[in-house]
Copies of this chain bind each other. A is one copy, B any other.
């Protein structure tokens, strides 16, 4: 894990800034997130990255030196002292998605892209297991269903068929949220040394999966951009896998209907497995079918989710693909967890029956929030720019200057969490944007933007060695 990622929400700890930084470094060293022997960043560069003064970093390093946790030598910098035995034998890369799930101590969370449970979810939970023959039948069985509850596989297949993508139940695997869908697909399809192409920006969850695998990740511009270079990148890099978000990536754009058909046919011609992430489809202002609806091709896989529309805690996602691939993924799913919990799947079956209704309510609410949020942002952050999204929960705000990574650090200290573009891009590019969740109650969003504006005032007037660089 790199030192910056290992620090987490360092600045919300108590005490003076240097002590907070020292405490975060101490924790990261002691729990192994920063390995023995790791050279810490030079004081000046860490200071710039964290948007604090250089002398603060000097003080923090000094404190750790006193504690013999780090060693410094003139000309060689500062590094973490010798190994200590731990039970863990290796460390995963930083979980970017975990970074996006901000610490609950940050007062205003505009980082977590998730909604509270819809009223229909609450009602279905309250009714579950009361004069409920389907539930009783499940409770009478062993509850092991690696490929998913048969009724849910059927309902999802019917739903996709009605939406224009002919599907049979054997083409559906139920997963624990779309995150598990991405993890299973990537782990199954990729071998060491393979190349994967993603857009920039892309899903932090997919980046998190890919960072844990021995593969090379290349980026293209979003397929929703005019003149995206995706096909050129595919032809140049010859990836095994391409992961695409034509439906509401972090930028909030939808690829239009006609362009979907063109893209689908071009992808079908190529020797690459394509994951079309449709997990946000339920939150689109104007729905559009997944790519696989436009052409019959075994290499176009669709991933969906019921957690974005209904509730994050429901954790029901799915994969739609050729039946043999789904059968193989079901075997992999049996290996990783033997199946998603069953009650949630039964609730999901029932939610599918009312999905159009839930969608209409959610979309109307999102449109209302978006109108309000746009006004608030334009007034409080007039130098920031954004294109109105086509749905979803996020504004993709462009900074007038500086880096989103440093700015979001400052924002955290002002009590508002946002996700810097660097966390949504394989190469850490896209760092001229922050992702801000607008799908919040009005007063929460207003308070968050007030704090963002204060953070921006602070950030743009910082001393020279931490000043924003004009882009």
Contact = CB atoms under 8 A, between A and B. Distances in A.
Given A92-B328, A128-B128, A325-B86, A334 B142 contact: no
B176 A307 contact: no
Contacts of A327: 31
A117 interface: yes
A48 interface: no
B122 A129 contact: yes
Contact of A337 (B30, B98, B145, B315): B315
Interface in A190-235: 190-191, 205, 208-209, 212
Nearest to A118: B139
Given A205-B338, A331-B98, A334-B95, A312 B142 contact: yes
Interface residues of A, number: 87
B325 A342 contact: no
A88 B331 CA distance: 13
A62 interface: no
B142 A112 contact: yes
A285 interface: no
A311 interface: yes
Interface in A136-161: 136, 138-146
A237 interface: no
Contacts of A88: 188-189, 322, 324-325, 328
Number of copies of this protein chain within its complex: 2
A89 B343 contact: no
Given A324-B30, A344-B341, A331 B114 contact: no
Contacts of A312: 141-144
A436 to B, nearest CB: 15
B324 A338 contact: no
Given A91-B328, A176-B176, A205-B338, A315 B191 contact: no
A470 interface: no
A87 B320 CA distance: 12
Interface in A31-80: 31-33
A336 B336 contact: yes
A362 interface: no
A194 to B, nearest CB: 9
A183 B335 contact: yes
Given A112-B142, A140-B117, A87 B301 contact: yes
A139 B114 contact: no
A337 B114 contact: no
A324 B31 contact: yes
A206 B323 CA distance: 26
Given A92-B332, A301-B87, A340 B176 contact: yes
Given A311-B143, A344-B344, A87 B121 contact: no
9 contacts: A87-B299, A88-B324, A89-B188, A92-B328, A139-B313, A177-B338, A177-B339, A314-B342, A315-B337
Interface of A: 30-33, 85-92, 94-95, 97-98, 101, 112, 114-117, 121-122, 125-126, 128-130, 135-136, 138-146, 175-177, 179-180, 183, 188-191, 205, 208-209, 212, 240, 273, 298-299, 301, 307, 311-316, 321-325, 327-328, 330-332, 334-344
